[in-house]
Structure 1
Amino acid sequence: MAPERRVPEARRRPAAKTGDILDAIPAIVADHGPWDRGATEGKGARVTVEPELVPSPVDPSWAGVVISLLSRTSASGLLTLAKEAALAAVGSRAGAVYIRQDDGRLRLATTTGYGEYIVERYGSVDADADLPAAEAARERRLVWRPTREYSGLGSDAARFPSPSAYASVPLMLEDRCLAVLSLQLDRREPLSESEERTLSLIAAVAAQRLEYLLSRETKVLTAGVPRLDQAVRLVESRTRAARLELAMASADIGAFDWDFASGRLVWDERTCRLFGVESDTFDERIDTFYAHIHPEDRAAVHAAARTSMRTGFYSALYRIIRPDGVVRWIDAKASVVRDAEGNPQGMVGVAQDRTEEREHEERRHARREFVLNLTAAFGAALSTQDVVDTMTGTVLPALDAKALAIHLVQDGDVVLAGAAGYPEEVLRRLGERSMGQADSPMSAALRAGSPLFFESREEFLAAFPDESFRPAVRHHAWALLPLTTADGTVGTCILSYADPRVFTPDDQIVTTAIAGILAQSLARARLFDQRRQAMTELQRVMLPRSLPRLPGVEVAVRYQPGSEGLDVGGDWYDVVRLPGGKVGLMIGDVQGHSAQAAAVMGQLRTALLAYADDGHGPADLMACGNRMLCGLDTELFATCCIVELDPATGALRMARAGHPYPLLLEADGTVRELDGPGGLPLACQLDDEYPVVTAELPRGATLLLYTDGLVESREHSYDEGVAELLRSLSRWSAGAGPESDGGPGSDRGPDGEGAGPETRAARNGGPASNGPARGAPSGARDRTDLDVLADRIAAPAAGRTAQDDIAVLLVRRTD
């Protein structure tokens, strides 16, 4: 670069217009001429122009930039340098160069600082569009204008910083626009006079050099044609080859020529650049080319080359490893050259870096797979809690987020539906009513109607300064998602990240997709929850509201509705007072899970209670129930077990209809099945008989009646479930005592789990309630061993994903 020339203060002139700069260009071009690699070497390579003769209309420090522009040997290198110099001149971080095509459209040639969406969206611009580059091309002058005034941007204007503006300058040759240099300015102030002069200089020099580069293909003039002025000749004699060169340069497409006989491979400068090698050090050996190919792709490239010998066309997409270790995708295509006899002699083709397109396709495929998998996962989520669990287990890890909170809009208020990953203090505030205030993050997301992204803690606190919304200390980035469907607003979702992050266009696309899927899933789950609650309440109404107070025995029951589906089950239980001081115990299960099953259960339960009041014993009661059920217009059957117990003597009589055997827990801790013959399930055979089994319930012993949902699951068989229940009761007996670890004094089940919030509990003399029974009707808060045992028996089934209803009936003889 030439040393800086200082111009005396007295000779400095006012700001020059674009025309003044253009007038100065011929002298500069004359000095530097048709520049090539050797132009800076040897004598006479540089001509000094005295300031007095050619006054510079721009800052002399830019002389080096002018020289660099004039020394570019490729159109792509020229346009890239012009763009970078212009960015530096105005202090901008984003800019682009558009090439004007023969049809008048502007095509993006090089860009800096823009995301994938903007590059794809505005890769080609109509000359009449209300956009920065198009306006400069039409006006044929430097144009400055605020970004949001360009109507052609539409909703995309919101993607640009505010405030921001565009300065666009055309690359003009006389009255022709060759290209447009467009710069994004993150400020309100227009360009200064100095900045305008500098941009005009860069554009003028770049235009002159661009025309020269395009004309290098036309070096021989037709005989008799006078040697024209360079600018005129360039305009009139541009060839198709020159336009092809411009297109290849703009798209950064390299060319190669491979001679089969010698193995010599010639690369142009762009191909060398694609492979990361210097053009003057490339040895032109085919082995060097193969050495650059990724080991996993060499066989495919070799196969494509062999196939081209037969087909005459070569096409391969492969990876290369550059000398610096960077892996890139190359797309190469070529035609095979043959001699007069048709024998292949070599191939001539082009190569282009497809890494960005490949990575874009991989990201698009990953997004599609993620969305499909997420949709499938949400499809299996029935309740609101299932949706929250899916978000926690699937979405949080996939997005590398650390916490989430989902709020639902209910009756005009915002209610926390679920959260994960937050400390207690933040979790408490997320559940407060202040989250529905107009200045809350949730309300802001709902007003925006599209996801809001905060890339740092400072941004979030600036938007939501209220102390009520102060985030967790370890969270530093957020995505606020409004959850809406065609039917209205569902709620909001907050995703919190541990570190500051830049939300890329891919992040925003995926997050927006998640918001849509989540909104639909929550709307469906909320409807499911409402219907399920109504059905569950219906079934609870059909069960006993309270148990009678019975002398000589202690009774505890638990009922757990199935956790899958909207349909209600047919499990039921009853404890009734019989004549002579005896106690009747009934438990049953109607086949299926439906409103019909619940209706049949209600009718059967009512009939058995009526027959029991008439003094029928277990066998007669079962027979009456069987006849009644056979007479109903239904194909459903039911299992049942009826026990008649005399608390005074401990004598019991039992009849079963396809129901599980009761379990007898002796006072000494022995646990066994109370087996014996039984009949078929009710409604299977009209005249079936139900034999009576007699046994004794000693003082302190406990009888357990249950439905098959307690021991059946998808994880194990019925027999394995019964065996595990027996082992659990044995362990409980061995550690019995209110103070024992994991014993009756604990609210945990045999496996250490609680009975669960949906469990219906009752004891003799007390009302039924949701959750473990906490005391007798008198209000005492002590819990009996039988209460704890009932909780522990129901806990494992309540803790797993239960597919069937569970009914548990415990009776202990106390006198």
Structure 2
Amino acid sequence: MDLTSPWLPPSEDENRTPRSSPTARSAMRCVRLLLGCTSATELLGTVLAEGPGWITGEGSALYLLDSAGMLRLTASHGLPDWAHERYSAVDPASDLPAAMALRLRRPYLVSPERTGADYPNRNTGMGTGMVAIITLPMIVDEQPIGVLGLALAHRGTVPRRDLDVLETLADACGHRLAHLLDHAHAEGRAPASGVRPGPAATGGDADRATGPAQPMLSLAVRSSGHGAFERDLVTGETYWDDQVYRVTGRPPPAEGAPATAPDLDRIVHPEDLPDVQAALAEALATGGPYRITYRVVRRGGGVVRIEETGEVMLDVHRRPVRIAGLLADRDRTRAAEPPGPEPPEGGAAAAAARSALLLALTRALSRAVTVRDVTTAVTDVARPAFGAASIVLDLVDEGRLLPVSHTVYGGPRRTELNRLADLSEGVMQHALARSAPLFSEPGRTGRAPENSGGPLTPAAWAVLPLIASGRQVGSCLITFATERVFGREDRTLYSAFAGVLAQSLERARLYDTHHHRATELQRAMLPRTLPRLPGIASAARYLPSTEGMQIGGDWYDLMRLPDGRIGLVIGDVQGHNAEATAVMGQLRSALRAYATDGHDPAATLARTSRLLSGLDTGLFATCLYLTLDPADGTLQAARAGHPAPVRITADARAVELDLPGGPPLGVDPGAPYPPSAGHLAPGETLLVYTDGLVEDREEDYDESVQRMLGGLELWARQAGPVLIGPTPALERLADLLTLNVTERRSRPDDVALLLLHRVAPAR
């Protein structure tokens, strides 16, 4: 939920967004990515992740028309449970925003005031009336597909240039959904991944318009000897069309049966399998297109050389979720191509392929920084490359094995891995105690995971002890859905993989430990609690950076001064490392000492600047120090290159205080800091913050500040002069201010803010 800024009607020139502007770049990139999405959920996620920053994400939804003509909620983000229950199905004849947009066939905007008045629910915490909501019809060839609903950081009216961007994104979503629906119907199966058929894709002009193109495409693909396939990397299932069954020499499934394909190890020639696994590992680690040539053993004898051309598709979190592509009979198609060198065959080629697979897995693990990154690499790259059904990863913690692999999964997959981890605990401990891998093979009486049974019983499995530098790191269970024989080369490969995985986990755990200690150091230097002060309500927040060591030099402080006044400090030391945190601790202690000695804000900053210059750190810091007399509201302040404080007035205005400032602390030890005076009336609120709260790489800094000021005014209007006073209301405002930051994909800077409210006297 972004905080909004007042909108001024753009001039004629402003209506044309410059080609080099962040909004234009973001919109064009977003449209390009939308045209490659494969589901309604992925479409909505791409709009939120890649679209302009003023699309907030919270409360956004995508509706599709079903065969009965109802709008069905197909994908959503940030909708509370009550909204799912109440608005999961929308009658197009109703007065709800989605229905209005569909009937009017144009964007339908609901202002922040209306979202609070017409769609209230106090149980949701912050309510729903903090942002504007726009619903955009998705119409393709005059046929409605559905409605895209987005929450916006605009105060009522949306500028024409922003509306053009929104309509373009909705058009891209509509055309992509229409394509997915047509493709699903042409294959005679129900659309997957949340794409549901509606009137736009069933019957009428839409079928007549798209019908001839689909048979032509199918005929062209079949004539060229190609067949289509799709691999779901989450479930591990692969789907083939009829042509792929013909190319690989296998009978197609019975009418109505799912077109699931056999596992790779069942169709690929054993000598080529490591090469295929290595190529897949490379493609899974980076995403994008790839091409592999391998031999397939036909049922009943015979070998055919296959060329697989596909693309690994990533979700909004850059994790591989699907592979789609074509399979071609190389023996049929290469006659038309110039002759080229044939790939080597035999044992030497298989050994080289296994080395390539291990190298690809090593590269994927080398990019992992945290334990979670290592686990993600194992589940996203190693699992599908090995053709495994599941991988359970346990780490040694104080002599016990604790599962960690489930942390990267959600929903049923997490439950399944939890159960598998429980069932396999005994055999994983056994393998670790012996420091030797265990393999289960068909036709042998190997030990299965203890208490195993039912659908979780693997047909084959390998348990790998993870040992690095002579220390036990953990244990890894790799399960397979089909029986297999682990030859000597396979066992060597898995043992080598276990060594690489153990080294990666040891390095990642060391990083996590250092990061945890640095974070604890950072938090130890900040106030654990804010003091209770008469006539004052306060709230504070600190968010670490998500880059580097995820620590920094931002700090805040609230203190009671000897003369009855209140001191308020906010500061930001340059850098995001342990040195910045240490300097921050020194500055906080020094500034508190100077302040409690009775120095005014200007003298306090001057002394602190000289101290920082003498520390010989090479770092500087911005800082703001204010004092408040709670009896009469008198403010005294000085500013050292820091963002100006914001005052929220009782009549719901948010304005920056005009404070002249000096250079950052430590830049010029002799520079003065001009003192300023002001007043905070009863019922008014003061906000001080570091620049990480508003900085956005895709937006001008001043625009970000104005957006925040607009959001503060909106909050004040909704809360009212009475409700904003108590501490719980300030806590909700602090959550609202930081919500925009926490929703960003990355946070390059840490964030600190402090809210101070002067309580109005009881009447």
Q: TM-score, normalised by structure 1?
A: 0.46
Larger Rg: 1
> Could you state the TM-score of these two structures normalised by the residue count of structure 2?
0.49
Q: Which has the higher contact order (CA 8 A, sep 6+)?
A: 2
